Amino acid sequence: MINSTHVSCFILAAYFDTDDLKYIYFMSMMFFYTLIIFSNVLLIVVICVNKSLHEPMYMFLCSLFVNDLYGSTGLFPFLLVQILSDIHTVSVPFCFLQVFCLYTYGSVEFTNLAVMSYDRYLAICCPLQYNTRMSSNKVVLLIVVIWLPPFFAVFVTILLSSSLQLCGNIINRVYCGNYSIMKLACSDTSVNNIYELVAVSFTVCAPVSVILYTYMRILKVCFSGSKQTRQKAVSTCTPHLACLLNFSLGSLFEILQSRFNMSSLPSVLQIFLSLYFFTCQPLFNPIIYGLNMSKIRVMCKSLLLIFLEKLRVRS
């Protein structure tokens, strides 16, 4: 039960009056959201319908694309409604629901990237043992690890935050954030802060540690291995590293926005920084993997050609 007796809704104060420009912003956001849906769904379909892509690496990629769809859907429909609205308010239950969606998206993304780095580590450092060490049962287990712990961790976060007594309702963001809600609390938040530190250590620090360890091992093999091994490492790790760096940059922007006063920056720049975390990764992932992985690229071309041919026949 939400114990915010003084608050029935939150006011999102980061929106500003755009007059007729709001329709341009609406169409721009709609374009990005449509592009995210199309590109991610296309690659999910490509991976699911082609048995040649039913390998661990592509299963983890499919999980990544599903999470990108999930995270962007937790933001964009709400954002589109707010852009057209003159009153930027959100109910307390819906605000916590959005926090749950957006925070689980971020946690799952980090865990997914960590599992993908472990998969690449086995493929490059233990190629002869890869099929036995990355069995189908282990793939299923790793996908459960990607999704279940982050959902549980964020669920507990929401329970703790929803029990706070709130004495304000103005959030200086364009969407709901847990830290922004905690700043409105007039009750003790020490339990929330301690739990957040523990949760971050499991959902962020642990995956980052796995990523650092696996890439240290991969680099060691590359420096001591053959030219063919180095080429394999570069071709398979480059997309993953690019996605990791992009997501880390978005995470940095999100931390700066939520933890520090950014009022000195222009409003448009503040909104851009806050949206980067949830926009650029879902846009970037399909592009980088679709362009760099030949199997996916060939399958995408085949599907698009079949679709265009059917359109031509019907016309």
166 versus 37: the higher-pLDDT residue is: 37
User: Do 154 and 101 touch, CB atoms closer than 8 A?
Assistant: no
The predicted model gives 217-225 an average pLDDT of: 79
- Supply the pLDDT for residue 3: 45
Residue 206 sits at the vertex; the CA angle it makes with 200 and 207, to the nearest 5 degrees, is: 105
Strand partners of residue 91? 9
pLDDT tens string 299-312: 777 777 776 777 77
d(CA 77, CA 133): 41
Write the CATH number of the domain with boundaries 9-314: 1.20.1070.10
Strands 9-12 and 89-91: antiparallel
4 versus 60: the higher-pLDDT residue is: 60
**Residues sharing a CB contact under 8 Å with residue 60, sequence separation 6 or more, in sequence order:** 112, 115, 116, 119, 139, 142, 143, 146
pLDDT tens string 100-116: 999 999 999 999 999 99
Question: Which residue carries 């709400």 as its tokens?
Answer: 78
Sheet with 89-91: strands ordered across: 89-91, 9-12, 170-171
- Supply the pLDDT for residue 202: 83
- Percent of the chain with pLDDT strictly greater than 90: 30
